[in-house]
Amino acid sequence: DSNRNVQFDNQPYLGYITENEPKGTPVQQLEELQDNISTLPYGCTMDISGDDALAFELKYAVNGDFALLAKSSFDREFVETYYLLLLVDCPTGTAQTMIRVHVLDVNDNVPKLTQSVYTATISIQDSLEPTLDLHIQGTDPDKSDSLQYILEEDSEFFDLDPDTGVFSLKDPAIKLQAKTFTLRAHAVDQVGHVSAHADIFIEAPTEPIPEEIGKSRMRRATRTERTYAVRQDKEGQLFS
């Protein structure tokens, strides 16, 4: 019907394309727009415009067949959404509508640690226990990609929380060793991409262990032994 009005039912129309797909890949989920275009009168022409128009190719036939094709592969980390203006010129009038194309993510990037070198010093706080304040972090351009943290080799003295990147001491007696500990850590994404390593340098206290710390430890150990002895004595009385 050449007298039909030229109009679009929905604005904007939303389409999707996955990053790294080859040239000529059609934008997906534009069926509603296709249905709308199929009702246009005979003899229409159309074009796309906008800053992002050069990234796409429009295919339209007089029988109503319509496709929006990629002119090259896309990188979501470079551009996540493209905005196009579809212009239609028919014998009965003109119309336009917006098309928004979202680029879907593919996990194709290697994570990175925020630093190539991390340093920390084991300190002795008021609690008289050695503490370590060390936290490594990583980034990944891929969308919604959670990272895990690993040590290149297991450590006798340190633990690395794989979810948080926080280091902790395995053995409080580490403060007795005045030395520098050297470790290597990596970030790993969900598909197994491994970051370049970061060097971890941890300094143990160089000062002699304060006398009151040694005495405090001895007192705690003595109390523990006494408590255990009393408990054993009571259990012996109960079952004798």
Residues 109-159: pLDDT tens digits? Answer: 999 999 999 999 888 766 567 788 999 999 998 876 689 999 999 998 899
Strands (E), the chain: 13-18, 45-49, 56-60, 66-70, 81-90, 93-104, 112-113, 117-121, 123-124, 130-131, 138-139, 148-151, 158-160, 167-169, 180-188, 198-203
Predicted confidence band at 238 (pLDDT cuts at 50, 70, 90)?
very low
- Kindly report the pTM of this predicted structure: 0.65
Using CA atoms, how far apart are residues 19 and 17, in angstroms rounded to an integer? 7
Percent of the chain predicted with pLDDT > 90:
44
Calculate mean pLDDT across residues 211-240.
Answer: 45
pLDDT value of position 127: 58
Give the C-alpha separation, 137 to 112, whole Å. Answer: 9
What would the pLDDT profile of 147-194 be if each residue is shown by its tens digit?
A: 999 999 999 889 999 999 999 988 766 655 568 899 999 999 988 999
The structure tokens listed for 11 are 């604005």
Band the pLDDT of 197: cuts 50, 70, 90: very high
Output the average pLDDT for the chain.
Answer: 81
